[in-house]
Structure 1
Amino acid sequence: MHFDLPLPLLFLPSAHSHSPSIIASEICISVKIQCGSRTRFIAKCLNEDMGVDDSLLSNGRKCANFRLCKLSNYTSEILEIQADDPSLHVLFVPGNPGVILFYKDFVEFLYELLGGTASDWEHGRLFSLQEQIDHKIDFIKEELQDIEIPIILVGHSIGSYISVEMFKKSLKKVKYCVGLYPFLTLNPHSRAQLIIAKIAQSQIVAAALSYLTASLGLLPVNVLRFIVKKSLGKSWSSSAVEAACSHLSQYHTMRNVLYMAMTEFKELAETPDWTFLRERKDQCAFLFGVDDHWGPLQLLEEISKQVPGISLFIERENHTHGFCCTEAGSLWVAEHVANLIKNHMVSTNQ
């Protein structure tokens, strides 16, 4: 039986920051229990009051800016917060459907929790999974080629897989990679994944579903917003509701969602690259949810078995895979990510 108890984490303010320090009373306990020939991995996060600055929940936080840019001959959506004198760059890769406005609260919270000294980028997806990866590698080459400060990759869902692939191609620039509710391989026990795969593989069904979804866009805005709030977003933030109304009711958005899902299921039929993760285990961390079929706890157990010593965490606050759709979920995950980044930077600078 092996017990691994990291020390309580301490957030220190940046030298450039005028914001108060943030002390997190979060204790992560990883327990590895060996019973005969079987190995079972259990991870718990025990959270006390985290001393969060209430101003992070107010309208006074710095807003992320939305813009379009030309990248690899395609128009790309970018949500960014630029710092005057950044000490690091955080490049966030969203999950499918890649609608960047879903992550507005998360990006703004993360910026504030990092002391306002990081520049955050997050941009939407294009076409297939491999094209997504290539597109984001091009983003680093074209947008960040001249920077000398560290790049931190943060990915959500399939964005975690993309981030790991980006890490492989950008070893000199990328210093750390965080996967949130990671979709790294197929879950054979997920009925939802099976249904989505069948829909995505049929062009007729995918087109019909996309047209049906697009028909909602013909409704008056107030009616559409009411439907979204009642059916999907009862606890959603206003930015998530607006993102759903403006993007998910478009035909091409749903077609891209299903097309990318089809390519995801093909690529992720293979096992993760354990060799790379072992080589970079000190530069990677993953956060799992309790009941998440995209990143099930069986995957966490497999990672712990294949890559001993890698940082693994479980979120037990019921924020779910779609954490970015609520302010509470966005804040909690932003705190966790900021925590990881700050402690990694401290450990590497010692």
Structure 2
Amino acid sequence: MEHRLFRPAACGGGARLSSAGSGMERGRLLAPFPPREQATARVCMVSSFATELLEIRSREPSPPLHVLVIPGNPGIVGFYKDFVEALYENLGGQASVTAIGHISHGQKDCERGRLFSLQEQIDHKVDFLEQEVLHTEQSIILVGHSIGAYIGLEIFKRLQKKVDFFVGLYPFLSLNKSSMKQSTIGYIARSSLLSKGVSLLVSFIGSLQPSVTRSIVRRLLGSSWSAAAVDAGCSHLLQYHTMHNVLFMAKTEFLKLHEKPDWNFIRAKQDQIAFLFGVDDHWGPLAHMEEISKHAPGVALSVEKEGHTHGYCCTEAGCWDIERMDVKFFVAFAASVNDCFVLDDATCHGELSCPTHNGHLAFHKILPHHCKC
């Protein structure tokens, strides 16, 4: 039985997808998705901060790969439930996948109203990797969404000998001065009074009868959102402490992202970096992709053309489509170092090839190993 409700057992980014999406998108939303392994929620302490995780452990006793998913803002792991499950399935169940939430973006106010900056959230993710993952022999791949892409790059800079590959999805790496939405959010975030007012309004909606709250979330945030994303929105986002932290983090993001990206680092690691952009995404416009191409031409760049928007993680169709793009990036990286990621044919759909082995890629469960072609 599939359990949709996201409920962490203990105290511990996504924008809407337009309901007026393409006919193809609506058709996929009505189509059944394959049964899959369910991600489990747990809370662990990282540097004394309660941290919500959503994870699926590999079926292998010694999995070769660990994928860490870093959310945008809001950093609520429940928004990524479908994505984590889809990624795990299409990696053949032989890689562990973990989504890590931001501090104080959880269901309970365990930090007693404290506000956390972008830099503190970056430090938190580094501490988590050092505590939970770096002592293993697993290859580490970082997948960052929105501001999570910026966080992932900063982690990569600090753990260059430990991280093998980085993928940024709909990346928010610098400010878009032509975006009215960014200007509005920035104006609210800079005002302590407005931030508190918005947080109070949101928490009031969260205090209503559950059926009323759910209806409002569906209406305001997206009728095409998955059940898991709606559950997470109701239980986590509509909390005073969460919304206050979302806005405070946004304030510090806008201050930091006035700076230019670290082109020297991106260029130095360009063979280990990939980005996926959206066609009409004000957080990561195509102009930013062109700038990356100019400064670091070796970075793998792609544009998603199925009609998903910045909040892909909140719809099942978006999760499956974007996740398949991730797998392609992983395969390309493995091929570049003369190792093949070996996938089953259902995962690859015949679309992937190993450029270092005459275009051949063995199809089997994923496992980094020297190609036997």
Same fold (TM over 0.5): yes
Query: Which of 43, 58, 75 is matched with 2:50 structurally?
Result: 75
Matching residue's letter, 1:296: P
1:342 shift after superposition = 2.4
Q: Secondary structure at the match of 2:59?
A: coil
Query: Which of 36, 59, 79 is matched with 1:61 structurally?
Result: 36
State how far apart, in whole Å, the 2-side matches of 1:343 and 1:208 are: 47
Cross-structure match for 1:240: 229
Pair 1:216–1:69, CA change in 2 (3 A): same
Structure 2 residues not aligned, in runs of 5+: 1-27, 104-115, 340-373
Cross-structure match for 2:269: 280
1:56 shift after superposition = 8.8
Q: Give CA deviations for 1:158-191 in whole Å, capped at 9, x if unaligned.
A: 0000000000111111000000000001111111
Pair 1:124-2:113 in alignment: no
State how far apart, in whole Å, the 2-side matches of 1:272 and 1:292 are: 18
Q: Secondary structure at the match of 1:57?
A: coil
> For 1:16-165, what aligned pairs fall within 5 Å after superposition?
57-58=33-34, 60-85=35-60, 86-126=63-103, 127-165=116-154
Pair 1:299-2:288 in alignment: yes
Identity %: 53
Q: Secondary structure at the match of 2:55?
A: strand
TM-score (normalizing by structure 1) = 0.82
1:346 shift after superposition = 3.1
Give aligned pairs, total: 296
Matching residue's letter, 1:57: F
**Range with greater deviation from structure 2 (271-280 or 117-126):** 117-126
Question: Conserved in 1, the CA contact under 8 Å of 2:64 and 2:137?
Answer: no
State how far apart, in whole Å, the 2-side matches of 1:211 and 1:136 are: 28
> For 1:212-227, what aligned pairs fall within 5 Å after superposition?
212-227=201-216
**Range with greater deviation from structure 2 (116-125 or 102-111):** 116-125
State how far apart, in whole Å, the 2-side matches of 1:90 and 1:345 are: 14
Q: Give CA deviations for 1:183-235 in whole Å, capped at 9, x if unaligned.
A: 00111111111111110000001001100111001211111111212222211
State how far apart, in whole Å, the 1-side matches of 2:183 and 2:317 are: 30
1:347 shift after superposition = 2.7
Question: Conserved in 2, the CA contact under 8 Å of 1:93 and 1:123?
Answer: yes
Structure 1 residues not aligned, in runs of 5+: 1-51
Question: Conserved in 2, the CA contact under 8 Å of 1:137 and 1:166?
Answer: yes
Structure 1 or 2: larger strand share? 1
Q: Which structure ranks higher in relative contact order (CA pairs < 8 Å, sequence separation ≥ 6)? A: 2
Matching residue's letter, 2:201: L
Q: Please tell me the root mean square deviation across aligned C-alpha atoms, in Å.
A: 1.4
Q: Give CA deviations for 1:224-249 in whole Å, capped at 9, x if unaligned.
A: 11121222221111111111111121
Matching residue's letter, 1:335: R
Pair 1:230-2:206 in alignment: no
> For 1:188-207, what aligned pairs fall within 5 Å after superposition?
188-207=177-196
